[in-house]
Amino acid sequence: MVGVMSSAQALRLAEEADLDLVKISPTANPPVCKIMDYSKFKYEQAKKEKENRRNQTIVEIKEIRLSMTIDVGDIAVKTKQCLKFLEAGNKVKVSIRMKGRENARSYQGIKVMQDFFEGLGGKAVQDKKPVAEGRMITMMLSPVKS
């Protein structure tokens, strides 16, 4: 911390130390500068960026298909699979494809979706509530933040 000074004086200080004068915040009044080795700064910045990319988690969307006439045992299997996906940190898209006369009774499919969600025992959050869109009823689930 040297304080407020003219740019010529700051440049002279940087040259005396064999370092570079780098503008950190050029839009500030007065501009904020730092005396540092610019190539070392760029190297460390690239290293941090690479580390951040490595630690980044990719969230996938898995899909589970139900039917309007699904039985209790089948729902238990689908629930177990859904819990595996959620524990792995993935989002889950639950869908029902309606056929024939089922289109007239989409409320039954929405009820099946609600029962499925309740069967997860609070280990998921509904991002998108069950909605009938054409021949499909879809719902998006994501894992509960711990």
65 and 137 inside one domain: yes
Q: Do residues 66 and 88 both lie within one domain?
A: yes
- Indicate which CATH number applies to the domain containing 73: 3.30.110.10
Check residue 130 and give its pLDDT. Answer: 93
Would you state the pLDDT for residue 83?
A: 94
Res 26: pLDDT: 83
- Residues 77 and 34 reside in one and the same domain: no
Site of tokens 């045992």: 73
pLDDT of residue 41: 87
Residue 48 lies in a domain: yes
Which pTM was predicted?
0.62
Q: Which residues, given as ranges, of the chain have pLDDT below 50?
A: none
The pLDDT assigned to 140 comes to: 95
Range of the domain at 25: 7-55
**Count of structural domains, the chain:** 2
